[in-house]
Amino acid sequence: MLGVGEMGSLHAKLLSTKIRGASVTVVSDPEQGKARQVADAVGARVEVDPFSAIDAQDVDAVVIASPGPAHEAQVMACLERGKAVLCEKPLTVEADASYRIAKAEDALGKSLVQVGFMRRFDPEYVKLRQMIVSEELGPPLMLHLVHRNVAGPEGFTSEMALTSAVVHEADTVRFLLGEEINAVTVHRGTATSRAGPGVSDPMLVLFETESGRLADVEIFIRTGVAYEVRTELVAENGTARIGLGANVVTSGPTNRWGGLLASGFVERFGPAYEEELRCWVRAVGTGPPTGASAWDGYVAQAVCEAGLEALRTGGRAEVALLERPSASSRVAPA
């Protein structure tokens, strides 16, 4: 386990308590006190150097939850040693670096990299994708997506809203529709009073897919209310919405309908993280991973970089993808 912040600590706990066939043997994090705390809780030892942790003889696979700038070197080290790796998003902080990873994996001739886009393992997203593939409601026409957080870390910029949050929507749209995003437009609206100087929050992001479908994303980091992630499919013969089922939706004599909103991403997506790890651990010993690939990680980053360009210029930015490596054809379904 490389990195034991909020995500790494969650993964370590799930792997040691919920996932059959796996145990956490080595923990590495620059914050030695935190590393020791997590290691003691899961019966692991601490390695100060992450590359020594990757090299360890009792490490068969690696989970990377370290800060994004460290990912490229750490993932490459896993590939060089032939070890499976689950890397939290982003795969890297630059699309070119993600592409280098996809090419390096391709040269090995086998899939070792999975990117932590956990929504692919959420039952509601899986069901919605099945509805789209089967055209249960007819051909899909549009997607409406909402991504709202209670608050963001201090210094969380408009750019970070795209690269740290909307990156999930970029992968979600590709996962659900099974096609690439060709262009991105970002609209800055009236900012909440909770946003800092020069920060646009909320924003509206528009994705255009290769077939001409549209997907709009409301990204709102500082609602002050709750964690809300919803998606609505508009199809030829009907609509379908997910994200309302984090808790029971009710109606009653007060002439109101509603339910309880999730307080954070762990509450909303905890089961998806667990299923993601369960499938990944199973794949380590039996075959290629079923989640997002290195290519998916590259594409998501390329879409975000187009979004940054659109944010900077106030216009529409096209997504320019490099040639897809021949072995990077793993399909989306989890």
Q: For the domain that residue 26 is a member of, what is the CATH number?
A: 3.40.50.720
Residue at 132 is within a domain: yes
Percent of the chain with pLDDT over 70: 93
pTM above 0.75, yes or no: yes
User: Does the pLDDT at position 35 exceed 50?
Assistant: yes
Number of C-beta neighbours around residue 166 at 10 A:
25
Residue 252 is assigned to a structural domain of this protein: yes
Report the mean per-residue pLDDT for the chain.
Answer: 93
Q: The domain containing residue 67 runs over which residues?
A: 6-89
State whether 155 and 280 are in the same domain.
Answer: yes
Residues 288, 201 within the same domain: yes
Q: 142 and 257 share a domain?
A: yes
**Predicted local confidence at residue 328, as pLDDT:** 56
Distances in Å between the alpha carbon of 273 and those of 101, 198, 252, 282, 332?
A: 23, 34, 33, 14, 17
Query: Does 202 sit behind a cis peptide bond, omega within 30 degrees of 0 on the bond before it?
Result: yes
**Do residues 180 and 78 both lie within one domain?**
no
- 114 inside domain: no
Answer whether residue 146 is part of any domain: yes
Give pLDDT, residue 257: 63
For the chain, the domain total comes to: 2
Whether 60 and 144 share a structural domain: no
The answer to the question of residue 105 being in a domain is no
For β-strands 203-209 and 84-87, DSSP reports them as unpaired
Q: Cα separation of 124 and 122, whole Å? A: 6
Q: Is the pLDDT of residue 309 over 50?
A: yes
What band does 245 get if pLDDT is binned at 50, 70 and 90?
low
Nearest to 168 by CA among 36, 280, 60, 303: 303
pLDDT reading at 23 higher than 60 = yes
Both tokens assigned to 159: 């750019």
- The two beta strands, 214-220 and 140-148, are parallel
Within-domain flag for 259: yes
Give yes or no for residue 313 having a pLDDT over 60: yes
Q: Any long-range contacts for 127-136 (C-beta under 8 Å, 24+ apart)?
A: 127/242, 128/176, 128/231, 128/233, 128/240, 128/242, 129/175, 129/176, 129/332, 129/333, 131/233, 131/240, 132/176, 132/177, 132/178, 132/233, 132/235, 133/178, 135/235
* Same domain (yes/no): 74, 134: no
| Structural element, H or E, at residue 306 | helix 294-313
Is 251 or 60 the better-scoring residue by pLDDT?
Answer: 60
Q: What is the pLDDT of residue 333?
A: 44
pLDDT grade, residue 186 (50/70/90)? Answer: very high
DSSP category for residue 262: B
Q: How far apart are CA 61 and CA 37, in angstroms?
A: 21
pLDDT above 70: residue 4: yes
Render pLDDT for 200-217 as a digit per residue (tens, 0 to 9): 999 999 999 999 999 999
| 69 and 137 both lie in a single domain | no
In terms of phi and psi (left: phi > 0; alpha: psi -120 to 50; beta: otherwise), the region of 172 is alpha
Spatial distance between the Cα atoms of 238 and 259, rounded to a whole number of angstroms? 24
**What is the per-residue pLDDT across 49-79, written as a single tens digit (0 to 9) for each?**
999 999 999 999 999 999 999 999 999 999 9
- My answer on whether 47 and 138 are in the same domain is no
Is 311 in the same domain as 235? yes
Same domain for 10 and 148? no
> What are the tens digits of pLDDT across the range 79-132?
999 999 999 999 999 999 999 999 999 999 999 999 999 999 999 999 999 999
pLDDT score of 249 more than 50: no
Residues 6+ apart with CB under 8 A from 286: none
Domain membership of residue 112 (yes or no) is: no
Cβ atoms 227, 267 nearer than 8 A: yes
- For residue 311, the domain's CATH number is 3.30.360.10
Give the SS3 label for residue 277: helix
144 and 75 share one domain: no
| Pair (220, 143) in one structural domain | yes
Highest-confidence segment of 188-197, 243-252, 255-264, 265-274: 188-197
Residue 285: band (very low, low, confident or very high) from pLDDT cuts 50, 70, 90: confident
Asked whether residue 51 is domain-assigned, the answer is: yes
